[in-house]
């Protein structure tokens, strides 16, 4: 298990914690592998009744570690990032998330696969895929319009600009907004409350609520993944990533 990902199980709740604050909890391939393992183990362990995902009071996740991502881009559906996506999107038990500070890219899109999300009042959500010359991922091209409505989804996905906790509460992405220093504890309390309920009822209720989306989700995630991988090799993405590494504004006028 990567030391950048901590996993702790207590009182029926398996908690995954991003533990790379010095790198803004940016997610490396090794971290994706550790998270995929943790989610798969939680799914198989009958003692685990609820999964929780959390970060630090100052940062949830800056998304992909771009250096690691460029050096070792995902290679097929068995790559760590796709393993994690598959494990979380098919997880049958309740998932609770606690989000404080920036939640960028997959830091936001993974929340659409959670059941209860508690946000610190410092949370800032963004899906800046277009700004990197890429397309949405993790089913977000389907799930964001379903939750936000088309026009708000278009603003979030086409402009890729951050929106704050109160806006996320308004569109239904988060359940409540709390002080950042209390966020993880409040979310953990909700997770333990869920863990005390009958697991068969929790699983069946979640299955019924998500039935229509789940039927289409694997195909959409696979389609997004194929487009994402193709676009990663195209001029717009190369310019975006080069500009990021060179700490300059990208110029898309010739791509």
Residue 69: per-residue pLDDT: 79
Give me the residues paired with residue 164 across strands.
124
Which whole number is the average pLDDT over 4-19? 98
Tell the burial category of 40 from Cβ atoms under 10 Å away from its Cβ (0-12, 13-18, 19+). Answer: middle
Mean pLDDT across the chain, nearest whole number?
Answer: 95
Output the pTM of the full model. 0.95
Closest to 65 in 3D by CA, of 95, 107, 14? 107
Q: Cα separation of 168 and 21, whole Å?
A: 23
Which whole number is the average pLDDT over 103-112? 98
For 93, phi and psi rounded to 5 degrees?
-90, 170
Closest to 119 in 3D by CA, of 104, 105, 100? 100
Is residue 93 pLDDT above 70, yes or no? yes
Pairing state of beta strands 5-10 and 13-18? antiparallel
Per-residue model confidence as pLDDT tens digits over 152-203: 999 999 999 999 999 999 999 999 999 999 999 999 999 999 999 999 999 9
Q: Cα separation of 40 and 173, whole Å?
A: 24
Closest to 238 in 3D by CA, of 70, 93, 13? 70
CA atoms within 13 A on the CB side of 180: 15
Residue 2: per-residue pLDDT: 65
Between 2-6, 25-29, 187-191, the lowest mean confidence (pLDDT) is in 2-6
The tokens for 226 are 């194929």
Q: Cα separation of 176 and 106, whole Å?
A: 20
């Amino acid at each position: 298990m990567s030391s950048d990902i901590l996993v702790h199980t207590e009182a029926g709740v398996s908690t995954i914690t991003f533990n790379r604050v010095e790198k803004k909890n940016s997610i490396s391939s090794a971290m994706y592998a550790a998270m995929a393992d943790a989610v798969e183990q939680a799914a198989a362990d009958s003692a685990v009744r609820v999964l929780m995902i959390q970060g630090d009071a100052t940062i949830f996740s800056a998304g992909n570690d771009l250096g690691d991502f460029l050096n070792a881009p995902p290679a097929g559906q068995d790559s760590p990032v796709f393993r994690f996506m598959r494990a979380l999107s098919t997880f049958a038990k309740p998932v609770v998330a606690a989000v404080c500070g920036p939640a960028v890219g997959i830091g936001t899109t993974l929340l659409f696969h959670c059941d209860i999300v508690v946000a610190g009042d410092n949370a800032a959500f963004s899906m800046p895929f277009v700004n990197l010359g890429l397309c949405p991922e993790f089913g977000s091209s389907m799930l964001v319009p379903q939750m936000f409505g088309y026009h708000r989804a278009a603003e979030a996905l086409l402009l890729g600009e951050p929106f704050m906790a109160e806006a996320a509460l308004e569109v239904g992405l988060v359940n409540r907004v709390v002080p950042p220093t209390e966020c993880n504890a409040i979310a953990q309390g909700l997770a333990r409350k869920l863990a005390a309920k009958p697991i068969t009822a929790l699983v069946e209720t979640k299955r019924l609520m998500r039935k229509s989306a789940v039927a289409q989700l694997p195909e959409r995630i696979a389609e997004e993944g194929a487009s994402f991988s193709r676009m990663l090799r195209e001029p717009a993405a190369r310019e975006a990533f080069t500009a990021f590494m060179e700490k300059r504004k990208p110029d898309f006028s010739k791509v």
